[in-house]
Each structure stands twice: as structure tokens, then as C-alpha cells.
Chains A and B, each alone.
Chain A
Amino acid sequence: MGAQQRVYRQRSRSVQSMKKITRAMELIAASRVLKARQRVEQTTPYARAITRAVSAVATFSDVDHPLTTERENPTRAGVLIVTSDRGLAGAYSANVLKKSEQLRELLHEDQRTFVPYLAGRKAEGYYNFRQRPYETSWSGFSDAPTFEIAKEIGERLTADFIKGADEGGVDEIHLVYTRFINMVSQEVQVVRLLPLEVVEEDVSESGADLFPLYEFEPSGPQVLDALLPKYVTSRIYNALLQAAASELAARQRAMKSATDNAEELIKTYTRLANQARQAEITQEISEIVGGASALADAK
């Protein structure tokens, strides 16, 4: 076999094994994304119950809770950036990081310091490579976040928020994550987590029936005290789950196009190899014919 032919065959084989890998990753992501979506749906009752309860308390007691009060001159803004732990998910993490950079500039214009909190190894890598400092980071859960992780993040963010900028904490907390809309579209979202703006999402659904006059046990402010941290955690948990579903959907899409590309490449290489083989045959024939006629001429 000719050298040219062998080179094409080799490349084609290596692309074939890559195709097997990307196809496998595509299938894995496809099966996991279903589970991730179910998990998002399963947490909806909890999120709805807690949102309803918080809005009920907020309606009936006009208490100023530290978590809902706007600071007068916010100087430090914490930003939780939710990325993936692993790559091969197309532009998933890059999009989130790009959005966080935009937010960083926006905050800079408002004379606020950007204090990053990172979730996911990709974000850590991004900050470490640029040798930029970050407040803290969590990683190792991006495709299947647990409630415990959300709670840990929630507690840390709430604690830093309550501390305030003067004591090394932050004055507000933003959240940059990817919202799962459907299998083909996911959108990077920037939302402000703290100070809280209650009442949203479920307004359309339960807005019609007014809240009854609740009795609070032990008391309005104390109920709010217990509920708000849970509300924050529930928001973070929801964001993490949406991000996980988005990551898997992005990975599935990226791997599908990688598989398609591999198929295309294999086709091209097969054609090239065939051409090389044919060229070789043609050359051999012309060599034989040339040789034969040279012998005939010599007689």
C-alpha cells in the first residue's frame, strides 16, 4: 500500500474512534439531561410553597428585615458565577464568564467592587489562569447539584451579605447562571439575589386569590427570619439545577455536532484514500505498459 493511502486510512481510523467517544458522550448527556430536568420540576413545589409563604409574610408585616433592605451606598457587590466542572459543552461556560465580565464592567462604572464567588472548575480555572483573586469557590457538583451544596453556598453568601462591606462582606449579591428554557435554548441570566425582591415567578399563577389573614407562630418577624434564608437557598438550588440541565443540554448539542463533523471527515478521508488508491493503480498500469513497450521497442 502506498504511503499516501496509508496516511488517509490512519486519519480516518483516528476520527472514527473520536466519533465513538463523542457519540457516547452525546448519549450520556441526553439521558442525564432528562433526569436533570425532572429534578428541576421536582423542586418546584418547594420553591412555590416557600415563595408563597414569604410573600404572605411580606404582605402582612411591614418589618424591615436585613435581607430585604437596600444599602444606601453599596460599595462591594458579590457575584456568584455558576459554570460547569468539565468542558466539551460548547460555549456553555464561556457564555457565563462573558456575561460575568460584562457585569463586572457595569459594576465598575457604578464604583462598586466586583467580588467573585465561583461555582464550577471552569470558573476557577479562568480566574486562576488570569491570577485574579476570588472570594471563594465550590466545585465538583455541576452536573448533579445537591441541596446540601446549595445550602452551604446560601449560608456563606447570606453571612457575607449580613456582614456588610465595611467588615469585608458585600452589600449585594448577584447571580450569574444559565436558565434552561428548552433543549435547544438556554439563556445566561443575571439576577440580583440579595437584597431580596420578593414576589415574582408565581404571581401570575396564584396572584388572583389574595392571601388570607394569617396568624404567625411565633410572630411575623420571627417567621420571616426563619423563612428568608430558606428562600435564598431555594433560589440558589433552583439556579444550580437549571445550570446543570443547561450544561447537559449544551454538552449534548456540542457532542452531536462533533459526531456530525467526524462523520463528514470520515467521508472526506475515505474519498481521499480511494483517490490515492486509484492514482496508485493508474500509475502502476502506466508503469507496466511503459515497461512492456520499452521491452518491445528494444527487440
Chain B
Amino acid sequence: MSTLQVELVAADRRVWSGEAQAVSARSTEGDLGILPGHSPLLGVLVEGEVRIDTGDGRETVTIDTGFLSVDHDRVTIVAEQVDASSLSSGATD
């Protein structure tokens, strides 16, 4: 099964990047779940939690407003501020 290449980017740094099985975030229209093979999407995110399911664990971060783009299994989550205190260390490059 293919995986998602996820990049979580804050205004002043790259917070997290790596492979994931699924990503979920809250968009203006409601909760949004991304699985591998998702069609290209550009969505506006509202304040809330972003969950990244890495297969052997789950990363949860809180973001303020931002946006998310999906194309060819590459997911980029962009937010101005990311609270990365809950991130498990080591995944950041």
C-alpha cells in the first residue's frame, strides 16, 4: 500500500516531515481525512488539531489557521503557527 509524504510547515521552520498512512485536519467545511490516493485538493484549515497517522504511532499538533494541499500523495500542511510540543522527537529532520 502506498503511503503519504507529509510535510508540516510553520512560518519560520519545517516542523515535521515523513511518511504517513493517514492525515486528518479540520477545514472550514468540517473534518477532513486524507488517505493515500486522495484526489488533488487545496483546503483552508481553521484552528484545531492535525493528526498524522504514521503507521507506528500518531502525531498530533495544534495549528492556527493555515491550509493544506494534496497532490500525488504529497500532503503539505501549512500553518502560521504550529504548537509542536506534543510531537514525538526524532521524526523532525
Could you list which residues of chain A lie within 8 angstroms of chain B, going by C-beta atoms? 39, 42-43, 45-46, 49-50, 52-53, 56-57, 147, 151, 211-218, 222-223, 226-227, 230, 233-234, 237
Q: Is the CB of B72 within 8 A of A49?
A: no
Q: Is the CB of B39 within 8 A of A215?
A: yes
Q: Decide yes or no whether B78 CB sits under 8 A from chain A.
A: yes
Identify B42's interface contact among A53, A230, A233, A234, CB under 8 A: A53
Report if A214-B40 is in contact (Cβ < 8 Å); known contacts: A46-B78, A49-B69, A226-B67. Answer: yes
Identify A218's interface contact among B7, B11, B28, B65, CB under 8 A: B28
Residue of A nearest to B68 (CB): A217
Q: Which residues of chain B from 63 to 88 have any CB-CB distance to chain A below 8 Å in the complex?
A: 65, 67, 69, 71-72, 76, 78, 80-81
Q: Is the CB of A222 within 8 A of B44?
A: yes
Could you list which residues of chain B lie within 8 angstroms of chain A, going by C-beta atoms? 7, 9-14, 27-29, 32, 39-44, 65, 67, 69, 71-72, 76, 78, 80-81
CA–CA, A55 and B11, complex, Å: 18
Main secondary structure of the interface of A (DSSP, over half): helix
Could you list some 5 contacts between A and B, CB below 8 A?
A42-B14, A46-B9, A49-B69, A53-B67, A212-B40
Residue of B nearest to A217 (CB): B43
CA–CA, A150 and B14, complex, Å: 18
**Which A residues are in CB contact (< 8 Å) with B7?**
45, 49
Q: Is the CB of B14 within 8 A of A217?
A: no
Q: Is the CB of B11 within 8 A of A49?
A: no
Residue of B nearest to A234 (CB): B11
Q: Is the CB of A151 within 8 A of B67?
A: no
